[in-house]
Amino acid sequence: MSTHISVSDLPRVRDVALTLAGHGFGELARIVGIDTATSASKEPMARRVRLALADLGPTFIKLGQVLSVRPDILPAAVLAELSELQDNAPRVPFEHVRTLVEAELGRPLAEAFARFDEEPMASASIAQVHAARLHDGREVAVKVQRPGIQAVLQSDLHILYTLARLIEGQVQVPGLYTPVEIVQEFELAVQVELDFLQEARAAQRFRKNHQPIEGVVIPEVYVELCTRRVLVMEKMVGQKLKDVVGGSEEGRTAMRKLIESWYYQLFEHGFFHGDPHPGNILVLEGGRICFLDFGLTGTLTAQMQDVMTDIFAGLVFRDAESVAMAVYRAGATAERVDLKAFRNEIERLMAKYHGASLSDLSSRGSLMEFIEVATRYRIQLPREFAVVARAGSLVDGVAKRLLPDTDIIEEVRPWAQRLVTRRFGPERLGADTLRVLQHAQTAFRDLPTQANQLLNDLERGRVSITARDPDAEELRLEIRHAAVRISLALCALALAVSGTILIATWAPSPWGVPVWPFFGFGIGLVALGMFFGLVMHWLFAARIHPREWYRRLVAVFRFFVGDRGP
Q: Which residues pair with 183 in a beta bridge?
A: none
Helix, strand or coil for residue 234? strand
Interacting residues of 526 by C-beta distance below 8 A, sequence separation 6+: 495
Where would I find the beta strands (DSSP E) of 287-359? 289-291, 297-299
* Residue 506, φ and ψ in degrees, nearest 5: -75, 100
Q: Is 195 a catalytic residue?
A: no
Q: Helix, strand or coil for residue 240?
A: strand
> Among residues 275, 293, 310, 396, which one is catalytic?
275
CB contact at 8 A, 362 and 369:
yes
Contacts of 330 (CB under 8 A, 6+ apart): 304, 307, 381, 382, 385
**173 φ, ψ (degrees, to nearest 5):** -100, 130
**Is the distance from CB of 389 to CB of 435 less than 8 angstroms?**
no
Element holding 42 (H helix, E strand): none
The CA distance from 285 to 253, in Å, is 11
* Amino acid present at 483: A
**Residue 45 — φ and ψ, nearest 5°?**
-60, -40
Phi and psi torsions of 502, nearest 5° = -70, -40
d(CA 378, CA 247): 40
Q: Could you tell me if 243 and 235 are in contact, meaning their C-beta atoms sit under 8 angstroms apart?
A: no
How many angstroms separate the Cα of 71 from the Cα of each of 74, 79, 519? Answer: 5, 7, 66
Amino acid at 144: V
Amino acid at 96: H
Q: Please, which residues have CB within 8 angstroms of residue 259's CB and are 6 or more apart in sequence? A: 395, 399, 411, 412, 415
CA distance 487 to 531: 11
Q: Do the strands 281-283 and 289-291 form a parallel or antiparallel pair, or are they unpaired? A: antiparallel
Cα separation, 262 vs 209, whole angstroms? 12
* Closest C-alpha among 222, 1, 199 to residue 105: 222
Q: Of 389, 386, 381, nearest to 333 (Cα)?
A: 381
**CA nearest 63: which of 193, 187, 168, 158?**
187
Q: Taking the CB of residue 50, how many other CB atoms lie within 10 A of it?
A: 22
- Positions marked active-site: 275
